[in-house]
């Protein structure tokens, strides 16, 4: 039985951060009810698509039940109240003030159910001078300093290749949910979980904030090289790339011997010590010489040679490489969700493996309002009442 079996989540989310948060809970057994307006969540139409089905939507909305609801109607608000009475958690990533206008603000829902937990993911959080600003992933990457740390030293600041700020906010939303659930076990009270996308990225900056505050100096972009260790990406014979990281001295010495550069092991060599290897001119010369060697071998030849010598390395994989990688397949990190039309859409798998309470198997992707009748009947509505709500365009 999955870990969150018996926990009910109301999902008032769109795009990535909120849906990803609630999908994590759904993967681990929570009954997640995705509440959408009558036309469906905006993400359902997002590219890329396969046979008119959005891979964007599929990647963060599996294992959920779908309910359509007109939240501006009196009847719709009444259904929300009934749902809140039965729920443990409400997740939303609507902007500040929007939940209140829809009748699902924290005060609204706790007046109905004092034990409910509200997880609210926004760009900048519920406090601070930026709290009312709109935010997208690229804005957060830019404002967090991540874009300025990423890219070629002589080039422009660069965003990473996927929506990292959204996904980290979703992950931290799920973590915040678990903390609030644990607290409720002790106190019997729910609480408001305030998640900021900007906070999420800044929390992962590690030593950088302390370093710039104490030194008064900005960090420059390091490109493909690790600024604190001799590790970098090198070209290969088959037009690929490999990351090589002989970061400790014994690794470096094994690496030098393996590629026939024993002269680097002379204590007088400018490449002998870690400190010397990191000096700009020495590093550039060293990386050029290593590139000459790597260009004579294929990517996988290099990986095999270095792994045999216990020298850390890895191929730079394309996404096509990744989805066929045997490690990725063995760990079930590519799954498929089936649409109501019978199409199988590949999506990322579940990263958290629990041996006693394994995650749910991936369910079919819910269509707009697919479970509306089922959910409303669970709330005690009759078939006649449900038909009336359909006629009145409430569901």
User: Which positions are catalytic?
Assistant: 166
State how far the Cα of 395 lies from the Cα of 391, in Å rounded to an integer.
8
Contact 339, 355 (CB under 8 A): no
Residue among 162, 285, 278, 183 at smallest CA distance from 226: 278
Answer for the pair 12, 92: CB distance below 8 angstroms, yes or no.
yes
CB-based burial of residue 246 (10 Å sphere; 0-12 exposed, 13-18 middle, 19+ buried)? Answer: buried
How many whole angstroms separate alpha carbon 17 and alpha carbon 46?
A: 15
What 3-state DSSP class applies to 242?
strand
User: Which of 101, 26, 20, 81 has the alpha carbon at shortest distance from 361?
Assistant: 26
Rg of the chain (C-alpha set): 26
Q: Give the Cα-Cα-Cα angle 129, 218, 285 (nearest 5 degrees).
A: 150
Contact 340, 352 (CB under 8 A): no
Closest CA to 16 of 93, 68, 117: 93
Q: What share of the chain is helix, strand, coil (3-state, %, to 5)?
A: 40, 15, 45
Respond yes or no on whether the N-terminal peptide bond of residue 375 is cis (omega within 30° of 0): no
């Amino acid at each position: 039985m999955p870990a969150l079996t018996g926990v009910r989540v109301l999902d008032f989310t769109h795009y990535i951060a909120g849906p990803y948060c609630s999908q994590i809970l759904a993967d681990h057994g929570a009954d997640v009810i995705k509440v959408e307006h009558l036309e469906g969540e905006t993400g359902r139409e997002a590219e890329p698509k396969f046979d008119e089905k959005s891979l964007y939507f599929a990647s963060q909305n599996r294992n959920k039940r779908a309910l359509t609801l007109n939240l501006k109607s009196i009847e719709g608000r009444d259904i929300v109240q009934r749902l809140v009475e039965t729920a443990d958690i409400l997740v939303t990533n609507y902007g500040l003030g929007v939940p209140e206008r829809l009748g699902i603000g924290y005060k609204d829902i706790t007046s109905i159910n004092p034990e409910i937990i509200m997880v609210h993911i926004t760009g900048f959080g519920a406090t601070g001078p930026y709290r009312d600003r709109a935010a997208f992933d690229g804005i957060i990457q830019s404002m967090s300093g991540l874009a300025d740390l990423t890219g070629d030293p002589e080039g422009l600041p660069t965003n990473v290749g996927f929506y990292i700020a959204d996904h980290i906010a979703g992950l931290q939303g799920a973590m915040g949910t678990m903390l609030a659930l644990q607290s409720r076990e002790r106190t019997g009270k729910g609480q408001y979980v305030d998640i900021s996308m900007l906070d999420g990225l800044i929390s992962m900056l590690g030593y950088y904030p302390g370093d710039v505050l104490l030194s008064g100096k900005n960090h420059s972009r390091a490109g493909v090289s690790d600024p604190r260790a001799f590790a970098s990406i090198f070209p290969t014979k088959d037009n690929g790339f490999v990351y090589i990281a002989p970061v400790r001295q014994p690794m470096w010495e094994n690496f030098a011997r393996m590629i026939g550069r024993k002269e680097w092991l002379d204590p007088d060599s400018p490449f002998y010590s870690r400190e010397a290897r990191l000096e700009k001119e020495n590093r550039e010369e060293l990386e050029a010489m290593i590139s000459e060697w790597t260009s004579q071998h294929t990517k996988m030849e290099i990986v095999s040679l270095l792994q045999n010598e216990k020298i850390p390395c890895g191929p730079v994989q394309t996404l096509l490489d990744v989805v066929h990688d045997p490690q990725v397949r063995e760990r079930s990190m590519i799954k498929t969700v089936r649409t109501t039309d019978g199409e199988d859409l590949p999506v990322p798998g579940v990263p958290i493996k629990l041996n006693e309470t394994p995650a749910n198997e991936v369910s079919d992707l819910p269509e707009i309002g697919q479970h509306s009748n089922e959910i409303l009947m669970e709330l005690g509505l009759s078939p006649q009442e449900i038909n009336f709500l359909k006629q009145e365009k409430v569901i």
